[in-house]
Structure 1
């Protein structure tokens, strides 16, 4: 009624309400994306999730990062620089009630780390240096390409490769945002470690092999006296001292590695071997006279396949006579040897003989015998009881050469012949006494004791019963009961034995570990004369024996002491006696036992 105009104030008018229902859609801009943050360069997939609109609806994406706006339905967006970016989607629909709507998302793009490094590597070197431009706030992981990694990286890192090849070195850096970046570089490694000869000495007239390896080209200079001057292996067969320079190259992976070595081959003079001889008119016997050069220091004569001599001017009897081949090898101070051989006719020899070499153990005797003569003289004389017999026993302390001078009648005259034989003396050990020990002597069941033979090396040692191993200077034994082991020692002609004890005790500590016989016979026949406590588990005892009236007739605290059946030095009467034992075992526990024993005579 107070409104302007001309209202109708009649009481006959009615009030009314008008309701208008708009059936028009709303435009609601909706954006979906796979992520809202990441490390640069960062790509996000934008998804237009706006509810369906009319046919004339349009969509416009307003992209940040100076990128061109787009009307694509689901565009991809890449951020190359770090920062915070807002992306908006504007939806327009003339048929919609609100005609237009917009929505926006904020993207956070973190900076990627800066990774910079250089490699320093000299040709033919297996060591690589990596120089890293380290930045505060970044961590690094360095992969050398050969399975090795360095997690704590400083400004300079070194690595030495053991195998030639091409390796990819990569450095990964990570910043505080968790963003990583990797840089790669390749290095070519040649493991150049050639093996070079150092020269040497060779006797005149002999050859020396020189070997080098680790390269693919070789050059020996000068080439004089060499079988080949471009191979790694060559043979020197020259006659004068020569100095060589060896150059070794390895060409691979674009690199040429080279090294040189100077070496000298020293040619030592070889001696001249020569000898003369004189055959005895008696036949068979020959005197040899060395005629070699003056620098000779050693002589080695070969009279047949088995008989030799190292005497400068030896005598030898050829028992069969006839034509023989004799060889002399001489050696000088440089170790150079030369041989000379010739055939000779030793004439017709009488049938003389001497036993071949003998082998004995120290302390034993050897029987020497000769035959075919009328008289005999053995030397050294003092080693024989009678040195003028055809045979005799000798007992040398060391290996000794024995000769016998035999007088034999031939068709022309009575001749003297000298024959030689050798007695070789073996011995078990110069270290005395020869012993075997166990350590420890006492063991618990299931434990092991070490058995050792104490003597010179070189002998064969065999243990019985079986040990682990069964032979050797030191073995292990794990017996289940107390055991005596026998060790057999053999060397050459010598064999000896020794014994060693290993006592075994049980973890149990009760009356069952104690044994006392129920009868003993102290009649001094050496059999069951003493009543003893037997056990392998006790370390101490108290042992007492009582008669039928309860009187103590014997007591001891000695494990190795027992009752001999006497009372005050007089023989005890036959009958039944009681005994009592208190014992402590090796494991520290205690037990006791009592019982009866019958004394019989």
Structure 2
């Protein structure tokens, strides 16, 4: 047993005998790895003690509920893991350090299931009994005698559940939580599997597994060691003495990830160095620290020596690749460099080789958001002039440094890389060449500095007329003068391309642009030829040729002639072409005749005749403007235009010899007349005067309703709507027709009674029938509105009202009505039915205005059952709210009309129900 293990167990014994008052909970921060099922502590022996108090659950809540009741999942919990190696039974006890700590547990059979997807259905045992009052010293667990598998939350007693019968390969997860004092801090527990027959637990000693990758520069100042298993945080020496560096370096400290000081468990340890390590290869090795042990697992088993892992501390950046593309040299570095450390003037770089090369600029390419890149583009002052191998060397630039990487390490001055470069080719080509049509010339390109080991590429443009545009010296047969440009490159991208050009002058013969033609006698033909003036031209026969020795003479043959033109040049064969000119006579003495004359009324026609000589020749005729003519060809035509026009006729021979004549034709307008009265209307028996203008004579039709049919302004008085047409004739005898409609409107109709009766206080609303829309009543006294169709009439005395009414067309009618004002009358009914149809109250009936002195009703016993002085009120058949029986009742009434006449009556009324 190591001293460290002995001290740990001695501490546990001391804790067991200390009074509760001196036991302090070692409270761990939340979210410890062992608080999640997937990172549970795997037990390495048959007994495990933890002095720690856990808070809440892990990063995830693996078990929100269990079969022991709602809300009884993990809380203030830790997860333990059993991997069964040999089958048998599993029993255990969980013994709290402080007996009042209430530990509960749940067991999940995790064999073959995802630890990230646990649910209540995966739970095979759970005990959430209440350890209040303290029973069984707070011990819970599994034993071989219990037959129950769960104890619900809140229950007391039953600290033990039924044992588990395990098979080899089974995996069990035990969640242990503390629910004492409302889930407060606890003092730890021991879980002991004494009595179990199943074999489980892997007490493999801890050892270094791997180094966790940190930042690219972090290996300088420390490494993170990943272990194969959890170790106790209190077995890690804080001064880093559990570790050492080889071949050199000083370890200054070490700490476990997720450790709370020396409390807790971890499988990841951060080891720090100082000073920072120089570039090179190193090993981190385990050793016994100043705490007298290496690292201890959960069972106190120590890491066995020796144990080590190797790592590398990178040096500064170096050139890894250099690629030349003409005057741009692209450099790759082994590690990303700070773009800000690249001197823009290129002074960080120096190039040596067969010829002098200057760097004029440099820039980082594709710098990321943090300002780093592996690529730098250098700009050279000019193309490489000598083929060979060149060396790029790092130097301190005008910015005071070489390149610096992301670890702030500078490139070593003198770091270098070589690259191969091809010299830009020097081209030799004449400025111009001359060739003849269909002969061709070779373009004599040469390279004065050609490299024997280089394959050059050639590209001539344009390719027109070349035998092959991709060879060094093609044959050129251009269709005309042409400048050819050649670009010389290489299959090596380092070489700059070169360009040169040559002008090829090509004599391409000539082209006579004139075609065989026909001309009129006396006409001339100007010759047009495309071709070089370097040729000598000759025409035959010379008759009619202005100059037989020029390229483009004027030809004036007297008769039909075929001419030949020949072009000659030294070194070229002669070429010739022919032109036939046919000569035809001109038409003469053309005359345009109009019948019956040169003037007409609009709508008439004039016949036209073209007379031309020589008679019998096959002339064609063209007339213009064509829009007012019946024909477009032929010697005869008919004009039918609406406006005065000059008509032209042109006679043409088949070859285009022409003669023409024209005549001015006058057209008098047909729309010269006008109506001074447009469509109108009259009421029956009325008269309207019509009026026309613009002519010397007028004829109206039909004659019906007209005072005169041969004057400009007759009177019209038709009895029905009539359309009148007037024929107007002007001084030229031209005729114009106009039409006007005289509508006869419906006569005004008004329907009113001769007289109406009203009583004082009443009014009468006139409701005239007929087709009138506008009304005027007289007199206006007693009327609500004298200008509407249906005013209310309320005269105080008898009045006769007169009315004039008009239709919408203005036709008028008059009428009158007497409004008779009668004297007020009063009457009394002899029966009424209070709740039936008809009279529902018994009261005086009146027409007019009257004042009631009294109105009384008595029953057959003489008892007064109703009384009022308001003539508008009546008896409803009740007395003091009670319905009165049917029968005969006596009434008395006294009233005065508005004229002062007294009205009194006594009588009987029958109440009917």
TM over 0.5: no
**Structure showing greater Rg:** 2
Return the structure number with greater strand share: 1
Q: TM-score, normalised by structure 2?
A: 0.20
Q: TM-score, normalised by structure 1?
A: 0.29
Larger RCO (alpha carbons 8 Å, 6+ apart): 1
